[in-house]
A and B are shown apart, each in its own frame.
Chain A
Amino acid sequence: MSSKPILVIGGGPAGLEAVRGIADLGYQAILIEKADFLGGMPISADYAALTPDMRSPEEAMGEMIVAITDNPSIDIRLSTTVVGSKGDAPNMEVTVKNAGGEEILEVGSVIVATGFKHFDPGKETQMYGYYEFEDVITLVDAEKMLKADEFARPSTGEAPKTVCFIQCVGSRDRQIGNQWCSKVCCGIACKQAIEVKEAAPDARVFVFYIDMRTYGFWEDEIYWKAQEDYNVNFIRGIVTEVTKRGDTLVVKGEDTTMGRPMEVAMDVVILSVGMEPSDGTVEMADTFELPLEPHGYIETTGGALNTVETTVPGVFVVGAAAGPADLEDSVSMGGSAVMKACSFIRKSELQPA
């Protein structure tokens, strides 16, 4: 008798790793992906390079995709969404939908890997003018420009002379309702600062920050590298607002290590937007009746000691669906969930309810 398959929802880094692991352990996996391609945010948002190792997202995600392709134990469904669920694990009936219609899948366990979305700086309380000023862009916009090898001042198409990053946009902000650090933006800003210096070597690049949070090896691999090898200027003190004087953007705030106010002209302002739970994450929480933790991500039960188990038996959550996560976090959680999902099924087979 073969076991019921494990359903993985979301084909980003965490989901891909989960699917690979399930098959490696000899279980059946079904991967549901809303888009018509795999790879998740690094591919869909056109990331120029991954942090911190600057790897090409196509190459890195490609490696993960190859690992699950042409495997009889893996059923990949692109352009498909999950629309309903009935019953309890290990006897769940999950309804999926694609252009061909709906289908009910019998699955033994579910791993939710639906990820995050980038913060939309239109709903900030800070006055950064993202929807007003052409030259105010986000990390996501900058990734696209860098990927296309077209990093320029949007309003003129010319190479900028001054570029600044404003950290913590949409993160660590009670007024916005996002009381979390998004973990990756400091590292990504450093990575992009390096890429900007490579694209526009004459540009003076600044990063305005509250604390630089480049955890672990990101410290010297990205932060120190940006400062020491690429002469990026790190200024402590977050910009309060961006205004325009004539054709020039002016960032305004306090330079806290100097203890002085500052009002400095910038050609391009890049907002280091953080993470929020993706729409898919919220929908799956609803579909599987998974409670959200106070920040709005899917709740896990074990705190630091169990990062993937939800309050619903047999349903697991991995990656940024459970809270801000970098690639390492996401892939590690993917592996952890495989172990727990497979052992859940195995136990249920050994001791039928």
Chain B
Amino acid sequence: MSEHKYEKFVQKDNVVVDGVDLSGEWNKMYEPREILTYDIDGLEKLRELPGAKSINACYQCAQCIGVCPVDNVGSYGPRKIFRKLQTGMDFFDHDDLWLCTTCSNCLRVCPKEVDMIQIIPAAREQAVLNGNVPGEIQDMLQNVAEYGNPMGESARKRVGWLRKFEEPVRDLSKETDPEPVDVLWYVSDYFSYHNRGNDAAKATVRVFNRLGIDFGILGKEEKCDGDSQRLVGESGLFEELAEHNGIQFDKYEHNKLVVSDPHAYNAFKNFYPAVTGKEYNLQHYTQLLEERVDDLAKLMKRPFPKKVTFHDPCYLGRHNGEYNAPRTLLNAVPEIEYMEMYRNKEQAYCCGGGGGGMWLDGLMADNSAERLSENRVKEAVEVGAEILAVCCPYEVSRFEDAVKSTNNDGKLLVMDIIEILDYCMSEGEDTA
């Protein structure tokens, strides 16, 4: 084995397999370096898929690599995908297919408009058809198909967070012949089922009530919005969910559809209309509250003298262009010391949860030096923040895990913006 013909591509310092120590030299692996053919079958297959043609336009300028959050922690990147496809990679059976978080930072900078946001789901759809899906994703998809949420919890439990909760909430699914509501609030999976999401859901209710917002929820009739399922290649499941939720939206008369989840926002705004034939009068909760920021400011009596930074969710910011609403709310918080991270707004770093990343921790760990959420948490700490404010239900749990794994416990707290607003509007310390 001469050195020039082969390239060492892995050697781990400490490996023990079935009790046998294979550290260092013993697990050194080589791959041939020489390219002996440009087998572009895979590239030809990919570019024929609907929405995937733009992969063909890549001219290797590599601007995407500079902003790809995954390349930042590993060696994946859009322009590399194109070159690997030219040198024989079977993308439909490759880890690279699943590493993209669809954060859209590459598309933002790509001079040739290579649209990974369409290419990736198109390619994954093929993998799904071939039954070639990572186990983590497979489990999630089954849960969504069977239960209407990725956790695999029952539909009834979707309103479990309302138990022993004193605040008035209209669950429209329980009302016979319900009166119209001004705001139909789509709560989302993580606010409904995750314990930290529940906190934010309750905070939302308190804030809405204090502002006198007339709102109702779909209760057990609400299902997963389907956007992440669409992005992992399950367009069939997405369409089912869109049809289901679309019917629920129609059932209850309302003026506005308000979501807590940017992924739901993206789905309802940009992808439901093609399925349901309807456009929605849609707002993210930060947009709804931004309109009432003066009322909100008057009601926020309790100071929040903390150093706070904000993580832009990819699906609110880059995908849908909303950067101001969350900042307007945070800057209305009394005594807040607001600070930006280095990578903010259009340039914001991805938390790693989008495009199926939420359910790909295992695969990601095999292909990267650290989680994207860990990289982001370190940045928040570096700029001196005490609070990492978010407004996407995926993020609280992701960032809280990352705070622990990066040993920043006690240094950085992760809070949804709605929790901060709720805190400042509340009377005593016990509600914080």
Contact = CB atoms under 8 A, between A and B. Distances in A.
A261 B59 contact: no
Nearest to B53: A228
A228 B37 CA distance: 21
B35 interface: yes
A257 B83 contact: yes
B307 to A, nearest CB: 43
Given A227-B57, A227-B59, A236-B60, A204 B35 contact: no
Contacts of A233: 38, 40, 86
Contact of A258 (B37, B57, B87): B87
A54 interface: no
A257 B57 CA distance: 16
Interface in B14-43: 33-38, 40
Nearest to B34: A261
B324 interface: no
A212 B36 contact: no
A235 B56 contact: no
A235 B86 contact: yes
Contacts of A265: 37
Looking at chain B's contact residues, is the secondary structure mostly helix, strand, loop, or mixed? loop
A255 interface: yes
A263 B36 CA distance: 5
A234 interface: yes
Contacts of A235: 38, 86
Contact of A234 (B33, B35, B59): B59
Interface in A262-317: 262-265
B37 A204 contact: no
B197 to A, nearest CB: 43
A231 B56 CA distance: 7
Contacts of B57: 224, 227-228
B225 to A, nearest CB: 34
B40 A255 contact: no
A260 B33 contact: yes
Nearest to B4: A261
A204 B38 contact: yes
A119 interface: no
B38 A258 contact: no
B40 A204 contact: yes
A74 B121 CA distance: 66
Contacts of A223: 59
A262 B60 contact: no
A165 interface: no
A151 interface: no
Contact of A255 (B56, B79, B87): B87
A155 to B, nearest CB: 20
A220 to B, nearest CB: 10
Contacts of A262: 34-36
Contacts of A264: 35-38
A206 B79 CA distance: 18
Contacts of B87: 255, 258, 260
Interface residues of A, number: 21
Nearest to B87: A258
B36 to A, nearest CB: 6
Contacts of A206: 38
Contact of B34 (A204, A236, A263): A263
A260 B56 contact: no
Nearest to B60: A257
A107 B36 CA distance: 62
Contacts of B33: 260-261
Given A255-B87, A257-B83, A260-B33, A228 B38 contact: no
A258 B40 contact: no
Contacts of B112: 224
Interface string A234-264: 1110000000000000000001011011111
A257 B37 CA distance: 15
A228 B56 contact: yes
A212 B86 contact: no
A258 B77 CA distance: 13
A199 B112 CA distance: 27
A235 B87 CA distance: 10
B252 to A, nearest CB: 47
Contacts of B86: 233, 235
Nearest to B82: A257
A186 to B, nearest CB: 12
Nearest to B37: A264
A200 to B, nearest CB: 16
A224 B56 CA distance: 10
A76 B184 CA distance: 85
A193 to B, nearest CB: 14
A258 to B, nearest CB: 6
B59 A212 contact: yes
Contact of B35 (A212, A228, A231, A258): A258
Contacts of A212: 59
Interface in B306-351: none
Contacts of B7: 260
Contact of A260 (B35, B59, B60): B35
B9 to A, nearest CB: 12
A264 B7 CA distance: 19
Query: Which of A224, A228, A265 neighbours the largest number of chain B CB atoms within 10 Å of its CB?
Result: A228
Contacts of B44: 231
Nearest to A266: B38
A260 B59 CA distance: 18
Contacts of A258: 35, 83, 87
Contacts of B83: 255, 257-258
A190 B47 CA distance: 20
Interface string B77-106: 001000100110000000000000000000
Query: Which of B36, B38, B47, B79 neighbours the largest number of chain A CB atoms within 10 Å of its CB?
Result: B38
Nearest to A233: B86
B35 A261 contact: yes
Contacts of B79: 257
Contacts of A227: 56-57, 59
Interface string B117-153: 0000000000000000000000000000000000000
A353 B112 CA distance: 60
A261 B112 CA distance: 27
A231 B47 CA distance: 10
Nearest to A236: B60
Interface string B273-302: 000000000000000000000000000000
Interface string A148-172: 0000000000000000000000000
Given A235-B86, A263-B34, 11 more contacts: A206-B38, A224-B59, A227-B57, A233-B38, A234-B59, A234-B60, A255-B35, A255-B83, A257-B83, A260-B7, A264-B36
6 contacts: A224-B112, A235-B38, A258-B83, A260-B33, A260-B35, A263-B36
Interface of B: 4, 7, 33-38, 40, 44, 47, 56-57, 59-60, 79, 83, 86-87, 112
Nearest 9 CB-CB pairings of A with B: A262-B35, A228-B57, A260-B33, A261-B34, A257-B60, A260-B35, A255-B35, A257-B83, A258-B83
